[in-house]
Chain A
Amino acid sequence: MGLETIFGKSWATSKMEYVINWARKFSFFDYPFVTACCGMEFMSTFASTYDIARFGAEFPRFSPRQADVLFVVGTVNQKLAPVLRMTYEQMVEPKWVLSFGACATSGGFYDNYAVVDGIDKIIPVDVYIPGCPPRPKAVLDALIKLQEHVQREKLIK
């Protein structure tokens, strides 16, 4: 194939893009934007039983400037919309967004004067997690989906 044929099994060749995406997808730093009851499921996902550390995403940052995955967990209302957009804008590239639960995805059962029907009206979203609240397994599935998405990304756009 590549240089392995000359140098034996102590070598591996790959594409730069593949290696960088591989490193990114197994070292997510999340920023939890928790506003509602979905936060409980979020906590159990991060705790030892389900153990999100198995996917390399165990370290929530306390500033969006140090994070690259934004978890929007719970209902976002019109009053909070500018805050969410500012939080997203403070994150540095590359950055991804997970919409956690029915409320963040579509407004859920709220159809009223106060609630934004889906955070995709405020910021772009990569993976939506349905459920009210979603089970931790669904969250981990979404994280794997996001990892697949990151692996497919092109470095040069």
Chain B
Amino acid sequence: MKIMELAGIIKEKFEKSILSSSVFYDNETIVIRKEDVFDVIKFLKDEQSFDFLMDVTAVDYKGYPDRNDETRFEIVYNLFSYKNNKRLIIKTLVDEKDLTVNSITSLYHSADWHEREVYDMFGIKFINHPNLKRILMYDEFVGHPLRKDYPFKKRQPRINLRDVGKNEEEE
């Protein structure tokens, strides 16, 4: 099945939910409206046999020339179909002022930890997630380290570190 066919099927089923679709080498990508992500992925899983969620991740596009606050974050779902040996990338745009997306944990159990990682690193909240807390960083950690506005040199030690003299580069 060609990707454009798939985009057509989704377009037929969910009007207005596809913002754009593209093919770059073998990366077939469809950008979906945020509100419809859950329904579209449910449709792809149930009826197009995309039975394996390979990854959920996010990108911070702060400061990109063709982006603004409303399209700052992008969540990327990598789907794979064992039956058709087919990959598909679903993307959705997240507004900086409304950092919420519907969780797809009820569709794929593997989304649980992936979404927790996205929450930990970017601070995007997933609605209906069973256990949304930090997965990599410790609970005392303030902020979200993979955001572009997280200070590069900022450190948040958990214990008092020993003083072993200052590194000249740090000053």
Give bound CA distance, A113 to B136, whole Å. Answer: 12
The interface-forming segment of A14-22, A35-43, A118-126 is A118-126
Please tell me if B158 contacts chain A, counting CB pairs below 8 Å: yes
Evaluate contact between B158 and A122: CB separation under 8 angstroms. Answer: no
Evaluate contact between A78 and B145: CB separation under 8 angstroms. Answer: no
User: For residue A120, which residues in chain B have a CB less than 8 angstroms away from its CB?
Assistant: 162, 164
Given A78-B138, A114-B137, verify A121-B158 contact (CB < 8 Å).
Answer: no
Give bound CA distance, A118 to B170, whole Å. Answer: 14
Please tell me if A54 contacts chain B, counting CB pairs below 8 Å: no
Given A78-B157, A113-B150, A116-B157, verify A122-B162 contact (CB < 8 Å).
Answer: yes
Evaluate contact between B164 and A81: CB separation under 8 angstroms. Answer: no
Residue interface mask A104-120, B partner, CB < 8 A = 1: 00000000111011101
Evaluate contact between A82 and B156: CB separation under 8 angstroms. Answer: no
User: For residue B156, which residues in chain A have a CB less than 8 angstroms away from its CB?
Assistant: 78, 113
Q: Which of B128-171 contact A (CB under 8 A)?
A: 136-138, 145, 150, 152, 154-159, 161-162, 164, 167
User: For residue B167, which residues in chain A have a CB less than 8 angstroms away from its CB?
Assistant: 117
Evaluate contact between A118 and B137: CB separation under 8 angstroms. Answer: no
Give bound CA distance, A82 to B159, whole Å. Answer: 6
User: For residue B154, which residues in chain A have a CB less than 8 angstroms away from its CB?
Assistant: 113
Nearest CB of B to A152, in Å: 22
Which residue in A78, A79, A118 is a CB contact (below 8 Å) of B164?
Answer: A118
Evaluate contact between A81 and B162: CB separation under 8 angstroms. Answer: no
Which residue in A79, A85, A123 is a CB contact (below 8 Å) of B138?
Answer: A79
B residues engaging A (CB < 8 A)? 136-138, 145, 150, 152, 154-159, 161-162, 164, 167
A residues engaging B (CB < 8 A)? 78-79, 81-82, 85, 112-114, 116-118, 120-124
A-B contact pairs, 17 of them (CB 8 A): A78-B138, A78-B157, A79-B137, A81-B157, A81-B161, A85-B159, A112-B145, A112-B152, A113-B145, A113-B150, A113-B154, A113-B155, A114-B145, A116-B161, A118-B164, A121-B164, A122-B162
